[in-house]
DNA sequence: TTGAAAGCGCTAACAT
DNA sequence: ATGTTAGCGCTTTCAA
C-alpha cells in the first residue's frame, strides 16, 4: 500500500513529472495524446496527489479553519453543517476548533490553525471584547471572516443576522396581536447578540408601546436565568416576555408553567435563533429564525473574494434579515377569555384550568425542520 | 508579515538549521547555551514552524479526520466536542467531514481526507452496510477507529455504547416499577444502533415479561415515526413504550399527549441517547445516557495505540456501558390511581384530567447537562 | 508542447 | 553536540 507518486506515474506514462503535474492539475495546455497516456497511467496505478506536498509548494492547503465557541451550543451545528458543505463544494476542507467559550483557548487555537497554514479563517467569536486581539492579529495573516458574532467594528469582514430586524419583527407581531406590557429577558455580556438584541428591544418597544419599553432583566444566555428572570418580572404584570434567545425562552416557559401562568393566554413568550426542537416546546415557541444557510454561503463567498483578490480593500459587514416564525407561544388571546392578568402563584400549583387547548398540534408539530436522524 | 523560516532563526542565532530544528522539536539533546540562543532568536523573530513542511518531511500531519453522518443529529455535537478536545490535548487537529447521511458522500470525503494525509481516521459510519467498503479500504491506509456506530464485524477497531446493557437497564427499571405490557418503537434500518437495541429489547423483554416481549413497531429514527407508531401501538394497551432513541420518544410523548393519554400514569415512555434538553421534555424523559466523554477518550486512545505501534495486531472492539437516567416519564404510577388503561381518543381531546402533577420540576430541570451558552 | 532543474520549509541520516 | 547534506512530493520557472 505504499503510496504512488508523480514520479512513478511519469515513468509509467513515459514523460516527465512536470508534464504529469500539468495534466493532473490542468495548469497548462498539454498534448492530447500525452494527456491521455498520463491519465491512464495515473488511473492504473491508483495515483492520488499528495496534498501536503502540493500545499508546501503552491502555498495553499485548500484548508479553512473554523473556530467556534462551543459546538454544543444548539445553534451552531446547523451553521457548521452549512459552512462545511459550502466549503466542500469549493474543494476545501474544514479544520475545526472548539474553544470551550474561552477567548484564551480561542487565541491558542487560532495560532495553531495558522501554523497549520490554513488558507483562511472563519471565526465565530467567543467574546465581544476579549476575542478582538487574536482575531485582529490573525486577520493580518490570512483572510478572516467573522461569522454570526462580531468582536468590535472594523476588525474583519463579518456576516451576521440582523438582530435589529429580528427584534422589530417580534415586537411588531406582539403589538399587532394586542400585547402592551412587553418585558425583555436577555444577557448582560458583551457578546454582539446580547448587546444588539437588547438595544433593538429598547428602541422598538420605546417607539411602539404606549408606556415605553417594559422591564428588562439581564443575566446570561442560560435556561436557568430564564427561570429566575420570570420571578423578577412577573410582579410587573407583563402580557408578553421577549427573550434574547431560545434557551432563555425555554427557561421562561418552564417557570411560567410551574407557576400556573397560562401561555399564551396570560403571557406571550418569544425566543430568538430557532434552535432545533423549538417547535416541540409546549407551547411551541414563537421565535426568530436565523438564515443559517445564507449566513454560511455569504461568509464563504466573502472568503472566496479575499482569497481570489489580494486580501485588501475595505472591510465588509453583511447583515442578513431573519424570519419570524410564529407558533403557539404567542397566539392571540381569545377575545372571550379576558381574565385577570394575575396568575395563581406557587411552585406546586396545578396547571391552569384556563389553559387553552394547545394550538400547536398537527400544523406546528409537523414542521419539517425537526432533524430526522438515522442512527 | 512575511513568514520567518528556520534558516533565518539559524542565522540569527548563529547555528545551523538542523540545530534549530532539534531545539524547537526537542528531537535530540542540544547544548544548553545554544538552546537558549536559539529560543531567544526564535522568540525575537516571532518564528512559527510551518506544519505543512514539517508534515511533508516527517510524514505526519498531526491531523485526524473525523467523519460523521450529520452534525445536526443532536447526539453528535457533544461527541464531536469530546473528540476534538481529546485530540487537541495531544496536539492534533481535527479535519471535519459531514456526510449528509449518504454513504457515497462518506466514501468521497474519506478519500479526500486520505489525500490530505490525515494521520488517522475516526469514523461514525453513516450506514451499517453501505459504509463498509470505504471504511475497509481506508483502514488499509491509516489507523481507523469506528466510533459509536459500527459497520459490520472485523472491519476496524471500534468503540461504541453497549446497547444491550442500555436496553437491559431500561427494561429492568420498567419491570421493577410495575410495568408489564412493554412495547417497542424502533427503526428498521441496518444501523448498528437500530439492530442492537431491537435485539436487546427482544431478548430482555422475552426473559422478564410474563407474556414475552410486546408489540414492536419499526420505522426510522424520526420524530414523525414516533407519532405514527403510537397510533399503531395503543390498541395493544401497553403500559410502557420503550423507544430506540430520544427523537422517537419525543414523537411518542407528543402523540400521547394529543390523545390525552397520561404519561407516566397510563403509559411510561423511555428514550435512548440522552440528547440535550431531554430533561426539559414534558414530562422529562427517562433515557439511557451514552458515556460520551469516555467513548471519545477510548477512541482517541485506540488511535494513539495504532499510531504509536505498527498499526497491526487484532481488531479491538470496545463497548462502554451507558447509564440509565430516570426522569418523570417513567415514574411509578401512584398505587391509589389504578385506572382503566384505555385512554380517551381523538386528536383534539383536552389534556387528561387525571394527569399527575409534573414530577420533573426543580430536581429534573436543574440538571447541569443543559448547555449554557454565551451568544 | 515538453523536460530539466530548482526549490517550498522542514527533518533525518550521516558526518564530524 | 553540532554541521552538512539529502531529500519529502509537488509546482513552477526557464530552456529547448
- Strand C-proximal residues of B, range 84-143, CB below 7 A, are none
Q: Is the same domain home to A200 and A143?
A: no
Residue numbers of the domain that contains B311:
61-161+292-321
Span A199-219, mean pLDDT? 93
Q: Is B73 within 8 Å of A371 when comparing Cβ atoms?
A: yes
Q: Say whether pLDDT at A346 is over 70.
A: no
Q: Say whether pLDDT at A85 is over 90.
A: yes
Taking each helix axis as running N to C, give the angle between helix B76-89 and helix B292-308, from 0 to 180 degrees, rounded to the nearest 10.
Answer: 40
Residue-wise pLDDT tens digits, B190-211: 889 999 999 999 999 999 998 8
Pairwise CA distance, residues A331 & A269, whole Å: 9
Cβ atoms within 10 Å of A54's Cβ, excluding its own: 20
Asked, for residue B80, whether it belongs to a domain, the answer is yes
Q: Is the same domain home to A261 and A245?
A: yes
Q: Is A375 within 8 Å of B350 when comparing Cβ atoms?
A: no
Cβ atoms within 10 Å of B162's Cβ, excluding its own: 19
| Chain CA centroid to CA A186, Å | 18
Cα B259 to Cα A190, A257, A266, B286: the distances in Å are 46, 21, 25, 20
Concatenating the DSSP letter of every residue in A25-39 gives HT-S---HHHHHHHH
Pairwise CA distance, residues B330 & B183, whole Å: 14
A342 sits within 7 Å of strand D by its CB: no
Cβ within 8 Å of residue B77, ≥6 positions away: A71, A72, A74, A76, A77, B71
Buried b (16+ CB within 10 A) or exposed e, A296-318: bbbbbebbbebbeeeeeeeeeeb
Closest Cα in chain B, distance from residue A73 (Å): 6
B115 sits within 7 Å of strand D by its CB: no
Pairwise CA distance, residues B138 & A300, whole Å: 29
Pairwise CA distance, residues B268 & B250, whole Å: 12
Q: Which residues of B touch A365 (CB under 8 A)?
A: 227, 254
Asked, for residue A233, whether it belongs to a domain, the answer is yes
Closest Cα in chain A, distance from residue B79 (Å): 9
The cell for B20 is 534549530
B129 sits within 7 Å of strand D by its CB: no
| Chain CA centroid to CA A350, Å | 38
pLDDT at B270: 98
In chain B, what percentage of residues exceed pLDDT 90? Answer: 78
Q: For residue B180, with 0-12 CB atoms within 10 Å meaning exposed, 13-18 middle and 19 or more buried, which class applies?
A: middle
A7 sits within 7 Å of strand C by its CB: no
Residue-wise pLDDT tens digits, A300-311: 999 999 999 877
Q: Is the same domain home to A154 and A204?
A: no
Phi, then psi, of A141 in degrees rounded to 5:
-95, -45
Q: Say whether pLDDT at A281 is over 90.
A: no
Closest residue to A365, CB basis, from B78, B254, B348: B254
Strand C: which bases are under 7 Å from protein Cβ?
Answer: 1-5, 7-13
The confidence band for B368, taking pLDDT boundaries of 50, 70 and 90, is very low
Cβ atoms within 10 Å of B20's Cβ, excluding its own: 29
List the CATH number of the domain containing A242.
3.40.50.2300
Q: Is B56 within 8 Å of A51 when comparing Cβ atoms?
A: no
Q: Is the same domain home to B216 and B253?
A: yes
List the CATH number of the domain containing A20.
1.10.260.40
Residue-wise pLDDT tens digits, B144-153: 999 999 898 8
pLDDT at A138: 97
Q: Is A187 within 8 Å of B374 when comparing Cβ atoms?
A: yes
Asked, for residue A197, whether it belongs to a domain, the answer is yes
Instruction: Tell me the torsion sign for CA atoms B237, B239, B244, B245.
Output: positive
In chain B, what percentage of residues exceed pLDDT 70? Answer: 89
Cα A275 to Cα A79, A247, B93, B253: the distances in Å are 11, 9, 28, 20
pLDDT at B335: 61
Q: Say whether pLDDT at B37 is over 90.
A: yes
Phi, then psi, of B160 in degrees rounded to 5:
-155, 165
Q: Encode A72-118 in three state secondary structure.
A: CCCCHHHHHHHHHHHHHHCCCEEEEEECCCCHHHHHHHHHHHHHCCC
pLDDT at B370: 35
Asked, for residue B316, whether it belongs to a domain, the answer is yes
pLDDT at A50: 97
Closest Cα in chain A, distance from residue B117 (Å): 7
pLDDT at B152: 87
Q: Say whether pLDDT at A358 is over 80.
A: no
**Residue whose CA lies closest to nucleotide D9 C1':** A53
Span B311-338, mean pLDDT? 87
Residue-wise pLDDT tens digits, A325-334: 999 999 998 7
Closest residue to B81, CB basis, from A1, A94, A98: A98
Q: Which residue shows C-alpha cell 423483554?
A: B205
CA atoms within 13 A on the CB side of A360: 26
Closest Cα in chain A, distance from residue B160 (Å): 12
DSSP B153: T
> For chain B, what is the domain count?
3
Q: Is the same domain home to B175 and B111?
A: no
Return the minimum-mean-pLDDT range out of A208-217, A293-302, B227-236: A208-217
DSSP A273: B
Q: Is the same domain home to A257 and A129?
A: no
Cα A324 to Cα A186, A289, B131, B144: the distances in Å are 18, 6, 39, 44
**Residue whose CA lies closest to nucleotide D13 C1':** A18
Q: Say whether pLDDT at A153 is over 90.
A: no
pLDDT at B333: 82
Closest residue to A280, CB basis, from B116, B117, B254: B254
β-bridge mates for residue A94, sequence order = A64, B96
Span A102-123, mean pLDDT? 98
Cβ within 8 Å of residue B22, ≥6 positions away: B28, B30
Residue-wise pLDDT tens digits, B222-251: 999 999 999 999 999 999 999 999 999 999
In chain A, what percentage of residues exceed pLDDT 70? Answer: 89
Q: Is the same domain home to A353 and A245?
A: yes
Q: Is the same domain home to A187 and A205?
A: yes
Q: Is the same domain home to A117 and A29?
A: no
| Chain CA centroid to CA B164, Å | 16
- Whether A281 and A269 have beta carbons less than 8 Å apart is answered as no
The confidence band for B356, taking pLDDT boundaries of 50, 70 and 90, is very low
Q: Is the same domain home to A78 and A130?
A: yes
Instruction: Count how many pairs of residues, chain A against chain B, have C-beta atoms within 8 Å.
Output: 239
Q: Is the same domain home to B249 and B356?
A: yes
Closest Cα in chain B, distance from residue A207 (Å): 26
Q: Cα–Cα–Cα angle for A33, A39, A40, nearest 5°?
A: 90
- Whether B248 and B185 have beta carbons less than 8 Å apart is answered as yes
C1' (C8) to CA (A134) span, angstroms: 27
pLDDT at B3: 86
Asked, for residue A129, whether it belongs to a domain, the answer is yes
Span B71-79, mean pLDDT? 97
pLDDT at A351: 35
The cell for B178 is 410495575
Residue-wise pLDDT tens digits, A34-62: 999 999 999 999 999 999 999 999 999 99
Closest-CA residue in chain A for B258? A361
Q: Mean pLDDT over all residues of chain B?
A: 88
Helix (H) or strand (E) holding A284: none
Asked, for residue B373, whether it belongs to a domain, the answer is no
A5 sits within 7 Å of strand D by its CB: yes
Q: Which residues of A touch B227 (CB under 8 A)?
A: 365
Q: Say whether pLDDT at A369 is over 70.
A: no
Q: Is the same domain home to A235 and A346?
A: yes
DSSP A162: -
The confidence band for A26, taking pLDDT boundaries of 50, 70 and 90, is confident
The confidence band for B69, taking pLDDT boundaries of 50, 70 and 90, is very high
Amino acid at each position: 500500500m505504499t503510496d504512488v507518486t508523480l514520479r512513478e506515474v511519469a515513468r509509467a506514462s513515459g514523460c516527465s513529472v512536470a508534464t504529469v503535474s500539468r495534466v493532473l492539475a490542468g495548469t497548462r495546455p498539454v498534448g492530447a495524446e500525452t494527456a491521455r497516456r498520463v491519465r491512464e497511467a495515473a488511473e492504473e496505478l491508483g495515483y492520488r496527489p499528495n496534498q501536503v506536498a502540493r500545499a508546501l509548494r503552491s502555498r495553499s492547503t485548500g484548508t479553512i479553519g473554523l473556530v467556534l465557541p462551543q459546538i454544543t451550543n444548539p445553534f451552531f451545528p446547523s451553521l457548521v453543517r452549512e459552512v462545511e458543505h459550502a466549503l466542500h463544494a469549493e474543494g476545501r476542507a474544514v479544520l475545526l476548533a472548539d474553544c470551550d467559550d474561552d477567548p484564551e483557548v480561542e487565541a491558542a487555537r487560532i495560532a495553531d490553525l495558522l501554523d497549520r497554514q490554513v488558507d483562511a479563517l472563519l471565526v465565530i467569536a467567543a467574546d465581544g471584547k476579549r476575542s478582538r486581539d487574536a482575531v485582529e492579529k490573525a486577520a493580518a495573516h490570512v483572510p478572516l471572516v467573522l461569522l454570526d458574532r462580531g468582536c468590535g467594528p472594523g476588525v474583519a469582514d463579518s456576516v451576521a443576522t440582523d438582530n435589529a430586524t429580528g427584534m422589530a419583527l417580534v415586537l411588531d407581531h406582539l403589538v399587532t396581536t394586542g400585547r402592551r406590557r412587553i418585558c425583555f429577558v436577555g444577557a448582560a455580556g458583551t457578546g454582539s447578540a446580547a448587546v444588539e438584541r437588547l438595544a433593538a428591544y429598547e428602541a422598538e418597544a420605546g417607539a411602539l408601546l404606549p408606556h415605553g419599553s417594559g422591564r428588562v432583566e439581564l443575566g446570561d444566555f442560560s435556561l436557568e436565568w430564564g427561570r429566575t428572570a420570570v420571578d423578577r418580572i412577573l410582579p410587573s404584570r407583563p402580557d408578553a416576555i421577549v427573550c434574547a434567545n431560545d434557551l432563555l425562552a425555554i427557561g421562561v416557559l418552564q417557570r411560567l408553567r410551574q407557576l400556573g401562568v397560562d401561555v399564551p393566554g396570560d403571557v406571550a413568550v418569544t425566543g430568538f435563533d430557532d434552535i432545533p426542537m423549538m417547535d416541540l416546546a409546549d407551547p411551541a415557541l414563537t421565535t426568530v429564525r436565523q438564515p443559517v444557510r445564507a449566513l454560511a454561503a455569504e461568509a464563504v463567498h466573502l472568503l472566496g473574494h479575499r482569497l481570489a483578490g489580494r486580501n485588501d480593500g475595505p472591510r465588509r459587514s453583511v447583515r442578513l434579515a431573519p424570519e419570524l416564525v410564529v407558533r403557539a407561544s404567542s397566539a392571540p388571546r381569545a377575545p372571550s377569555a379576558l381574565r385577570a392578568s394575575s396568575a395563581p402563584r406557587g411552585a406546586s400549583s396545578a396547571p391552569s384550568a384556563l389553559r387553552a387547548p394547545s394550538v400547536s398540534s398537527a400544523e406546528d408539530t409537523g414542521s419539517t425542520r425537526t432533524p430526522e436522524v438515522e442512527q
